[in-house]
Amino acid sequence: MKFPSPVSLQWMAAFLGAELMGDKNDMATGINELHKVEKGDLAFVDHPKYYDTCINSAASFIIINKVVPYPEGKALLIVDQPFEAYLKIVNHFRPFEPAVKSVSDSAVIGEGTYIYPGSFVGHHVVIGKNCMIHPNVSILDYTIIGNNVVIQAGTVIGSDAFYYNTKKDREVWYKRMQSCGRVVIEDDVEIGAGCTIDRGVTSDTVIGRGTKMDNMIHIGHDTFVGKNCLFAAQVGIAGAVNIGDGVILWGQVGVSKTLSIGDNAVVLAQSGVPSSLEGNKTYFGYPADDAAKKRREVVWIKRIPELWKKVMESGGS
């Protein structure tokens, strides 16, 4: 999430009740979680396991619960509970705004766009020209939609990320990281019925231009989908995945988190993707691998009873 304008670290330290170490005259431009941080961003860390990763990330300013060595040009904001500091920042810059009508007065709707009765358009949404929003679609706050986009009935755009801060030493182990990111849907995208696209935790979930999605598809938080992709029904994609241009995922493909799929890759139906895949290849199975190789494996697996019988008949033990 980018702040409306840069914020001084001195103001931020006072706001959070933090001890400030480093360049006290610097300015923060936003707050992001580690997968999406950029120069000028605040990040937060509350577990020693991730101290080094956070300190050495692109983030310029670290909200942390312990004094640790840090590189020149960065600053630390020391607080007891970095996660609570994160929530305080989000609630300040993206406060809850109750909805009072089905299409918010702050939404911007382009010429030629038609929104069916029963749909909901939240605050600060932008929808481009010549879009078709079918019944019972929910387009939640801060979503950006381009031109010539079709969204079929019952789809939800911009639902909160499935993303939790985990602590085993408190009564509630899983505490929601409040989502302050967006969904950005580019021009000429078509989204089927009953799909769900989560907003980024602190950044954007992006659906690239010309991508087409069938029914009952889930896209997780902070995932980037390239241009002209094709996803068949019941595809599920976890958070912070990077999918290249021209990728085809056939029905019921499952994609794990924080991985990449290269341009023009094809993943055949009911495959599982637990790790990154190169582009320009066809994949099948779990774990997804070269489709021709997987088919040969299936043939040999089917022959195991026959081969075992031959071994036994030849006196094997």
Residues belonging to the active site: 221
According to DSSP, residue 161 is labeled: P
Helix (H, G, I), strand (E, B) or coil at 156: strand
CA separation for the pair 168, 182 (Å, rounded): 30
Total Cβ atoms within 10 A of residue 240 = 22
CA 251 remoteness from chain centre = 20
Angle between the 304-313 and 291-302 helix axes, to the nearest 10 degrees?
40
Say if CB 123 and CB 99 are below 8 A apart.
yes
Q: Are 22 and 70 in contact (CB under 8 A)?
A: yes
DSSP-derived 3-state class of residue 130: coil
**Cβ contacts of residue 151 below 8 Å, gap of 6+?**
131, 132, 133, 134, 137, 139, 145, 157, 190, 191
Q: Identify the residue whose tokens are 């809850």.
A: 96
